[in-house]
Structure 1
C-alpha cells in the first residue's frame, strides 16, 4: 500500500489542481446559519442500519476533511453520532482552516504517504475522487451496500460508481442552477422558468439586456473558461446530458465530436457577438470580473452557477441584496429532453483502504450521508430519503444566515434543488489539465475573432488527440 502510494504521490499532488475553477468553488459553501439539530430524523431503514452497536469495544475513527466548522457544523454532527453510538468516537482532522480543498488534498496525500491512521476521508470533486481511488486510497463499499440492501444510484442523487464499483457515498448536493434578478424579470414581463431550454435562456438574456456603455446591464454573465478552469461554461450543452458530459469519453478518447460541444460554442458566440446579451469574454479576462459582483451589483440579470451560492443569495455584509432573487433549473437542449440534469458538486465520503475499522467507518459514512446530513443542517443532502419539507427546512436554516432572506423566492429555489439530478461521473485522465488548457486556448481564438467555430472544433480536437497520444507512450 505505502509503496504504491509513494510511486503515485507526485502524480497525485500534481493532479490536485485539476478542475481548479470548480474545486475552488467548494470553498464558498460556508453558511452562517444555525445548526438544524432539532430536525426530525427521517424514519427510514438507512437511519436504523447506519449506526454501530450500542455495546462492544470502544472504537476511535479518524475523519480527514477539508470542511470547516462554520461550513459543516462538525461538533454538533459528530456529537450526535456519538450519542447514538456511545462506543464510537470520531476524531476530526481538519486539513485546512479556511476550507481550501487544494491545500487539504495535498496534506491528505502526505498523511497517507506517511502512514497516518485514516478511517474516513472526503474528496471535493470527481477528479480528486477518481485519482485517489486509482491510487488505492479508498476501500470499495459494494459488499457493505449489498448487505444493507440498497443501490447508491437509487438511494442518492449522485451515482458514485467508478469502473463498476462504489468507493464513496455522496454527502451534500450542490447542483448548478440559474440565479435570476426577479425585479428585472418583472420589468420585462418574464416569468420565472421552471423548465426551459438554452434557446429560451438566450431569449431571456436578450430581453433583459438594457442600456449601453459603462452602465449597460447584460442579460447574463458566464464566468469562464479561465486558464483551463471554470470549463463548465464550455460544456453547457453537454453537461445537461445523462452521459457524455465531459471532453473525454470514459474510454479515454476525445468527445469533442459530440455535436453539443459545437452547439455550446455557437450559443456563446451568438449571445456575445450577435445578441450582445452576455458580458464580453475580453472584459471578464482583462478586468478580472467576479461573478458575485456582476450579479449582486446588477451588472447582469442572470447567473449560471453552482448552488454553493445558497449561503449568499440572501445577501452578505460585503455584497448586500437589494432586489428580489429567484432560481431556475439548468437549461435543457431540447423541449423533450429530461429535466433537471445538471453539473453537481458533492462531498465524496469514503472509507480509507488502510483503516483497521472498515465496518465501523462504513457505518459512520452511511449515517453521515443520510441522517447526518439533516443533523448537520448546512447543505441540501444528496440522499433521496430527505423529503421536500425537510429540504425547505434546511433552506430556511441556510437563508437565515444571510442578510435579507425575505428577498429570496424560496419556492423556486427548493423546487429547483429537489428536481436536480447529477450527470454520470467520468473518471478524469491524468492529463486532464492539459486537455482543458488546450480547449480554453482554442476558445479564446474563437471568441476574440481569430478563427471561426468549425476551425475551433477542428483545432481543439486535433490538439486533444495529440495530448492523448503523447500520454499513451
Structure 2
C-alpha cells in the first residue's frame, strides 16, 4: 500500500511536470532581471481560508509595497485542511494547472515534492539577497542541503483546554506536566456526551505526531529517524507513545476512538470548538481562531498548556517546531514576482497578516506580545482566551532536534500508519507493532542507501 502510494504520486507529478516543461520553454518568461516590465498576477495555492489567514488585508498590504504584482489567492479547502489541499495541488501539477506560489504545511510534504522536481530551488535568490536562513528563521528549512521554501507562520505544539470544564473539575491550568498527568486530566475531563481528548491522527499518511507523542517531546531525536538519519525505532519512547494511545482509548475511554475519527472523518477544530472534546493536542496554527472565527464562535473559556514532558525534571517542554512553507512552483512563469511575495510574507508580511506567530527571528518578544494582542483584538470574543497561559506556553517551549527530511519519509510515515492502525483496531498487540516498525523502517532506509 505504501509503495503504491509513493509510486503513484511520483509518476503522477513527474508526468505533469514534464508536460508543463515544454510549454514553459516555448514561452518566454514574462519577467526580466529586476522589476517586471508590466503588472503580473501570481497565484498562491493555499489550504488557508480568508477568515483564518486574513488574505484580503494581507494581499492589500503587499500590493502597497509592490503595485506591479497582483496576488490571486486560490483557497483549496473550506476546512483549512492541508491534506485535502495537497491532493488538489498534486492534481494541478499533473494536469498542467497554472500555479506560482504553493503553501506546504510541513517540511516532509515539501521535501517529497522537491525531490520530484515540482518546487523551485531558492538558493540563488537567497544568496543574491544575502539572507542567512539559519539566523533569520526559527526552524531549519533545508532539504538535502538546499532551500526550496521560506516560512510563514511559526508552529509550536501545545494543549488547548476547555477552561470552564477545568474549573468544574477543580483542575488548575498546568504550567508544566507529564504525560501521566495528561492522562489523568483526560479522565477527569470526560463526561456525558463528550471525551477528555481527541487525537487527530495518524490520518491519510499524515499527522504522525499523534502516534509518537512521547517520542516527539524529547530534546533530541524527536521523530522516527534520529538526527543522523538512522532509525529511531529502538527508542523506548516510541513504545510508550503507542501504549499511551491504547490506554487512553481502550482502558480509560477518555479519548475519541480512532475508528470513529477515520469513519466520520473528524476534524480537530470541530472536536474542540463544539466541545465534543475537553482538550486537544494541537498547535499555534490555531492562534487566530482562539477568540472565535466565522465558522466557530467561541462560547467557552480557553486556556493553553505546554506539551507534557516525559520527565518532570526536564527544564523545558520540547516538541518539533515548524510552520507554513511557501515554495515556488517549478513551472511558474512569474518566479521573480513569486519570490518577492514569499520573502515579504515571511518577514514583515507576518505582522501585516496579524494571524499567527512569526517564524522571523528579528521579531522581538515585545513585538510578538503586541502582535498577539492585535490578533485577539480583532476577534469576536478576545476575552475567552487566557492570555497569560498562552504567553507562558510560548516562553516555556523549546524546539526539539530532528533529522533533515529524507525523500522516503512519506514511505516511512505510510508504513507506520498501517502498523498503528493494526494496533488501535485490535489486529495486533503493542510488542508486535514495535517489532514490525523496527524492521519496516530499517528496510526502507537500507533500500534507499
TM-score by length of structure 2 reads 0.76
CA shift in 2, pair 1:110/1:409, >3 Å: same
How far does residue 417 in structure 1 lie from its aligned partner after superposition?
4.0
SS of match in other structure, 2:58: helix
Retained in 2: the 8 A contact 1:156–1:383?
A: yes
How far does residue 156 in structure 1 lie from its aligned partner after superposition?
1.6
How far does residue 409 in structure 1 lie from its aligned partner after superposition?
0.9
How far does residue 227 in structure 1 lie from its aligned partner after superposition?
5.2
Question: Number of residue pairs matched?
Answer: 419
CA shift in 2, pair 1:382/1:97, >3 Å: same
Retained in 1: the 8 A contact 2:10–2:116?
A: no
Q: Give the structure 1 partner of residue 10 of structure 2.
A: 11
Does residue 432 (structure 1) correspond to residue 410 (structure 2)? The answer is: yes
Report the Cα distance in structure 1 between the residues aligned to 2:51 and 2:189, rounded to whole angstroms.
38
CA shift in 2, pair 1:170/1:141, >3 Å: same
How far does residue 301 in structure 1 lie from its aligned partner after superposition?
2.5
**Could you list the runs of 5+ residues in structure 2 that have no partner in the other structure?**
1-6, 15-32
SS of match in other structure, 1:373: helix
How far does residue 370 in structure 1 lie from its aligned partner after superposition?
0.5
Report the Cα distance in structure 2 between the residues aligned to 1:79 and 1:249, rounded to whole angstroms.
43
SS of match in other structure, 2:214: coil
Does residue 347 (structure 1) correspond to residue 324 (structure 2)? The answer is: yes
The Cα RMSD (Å) is: 3.9
TM-score by length of structure 1 reads 0.73
Q: Output one character per residue of 1:353-393: Cα deviation in whole Å (capped at 9) or x when no partner.
A: 56687666544432221101111223222112223444344
Does residue 223 (structure 1) correspond to residue 200 (structure 2)? The answer is: yes
Q: Give the structure 1 partner of residue 148 of structure 2.
A: 167
**Could you list the runs of 5+ residues in structure 1 that have no partner in the other structure?**
1-7, 16-52
Retained in 1: the 8 A contact 2:156–2:322?
A: yes
CA shift in 2, pair 1:14/1:186, >3 Å: farther
Retained in 1: the 8 A contact 2:291–2:298?
A: yes
Q: Give the structure 1 partner of residue 430 of structure 2.
A: 453
How far does residue 64 in structure 1 lie from its aligned partner after superposition?
3.2
Report the Cα distance in structure 2 between the residues aligned to 1:178 and 1:417, rounded to whole angstroms.
11
SS of match in other structure, 1:237: helix
Q: Output one character per residue of 1:79-127: Cα deviation in whole Å (capped at 9) or x when no partner.
A: 43343345x424436263746522541255247x57x684x44333323
CA shift in 2, pair 1:371/1:95, >3 Å: same
How far does residue 458 in structure 1 lie from its aligned partner after superposition?
0.7
Aligned to 2:382, which of 386, 401, 405? 405
Aligned to 2:89, which of 87, 102, 105? 105
Give the ranges of 4+ consecutive aligned residues of structure 1 lying more than 6 Å apart after TM superposition: 53-56
Q: Give the structure 1 partner of residue 285 of structure 2.
A: 308
Does residue 239 (structure 1) correspond to residue 216 (structure 2)? The answer is: yes
Report the Cα distance in structure 1 between the residues aligned to 2:85 and 2:252, rounded to whole angstroms.
38
How far does residue 252 in structure 1 lie from its aligned partner after superposition?
6.7
SS of match in other structure, 1:238: helix
Report the Cα distance in structure 1 between the residues aligned to 2:258 and 2:334, rounded to whole angstroms.
51
Does residue 193 (structure 1) correspond to residue 174 (structure 2)? The answer is: yes
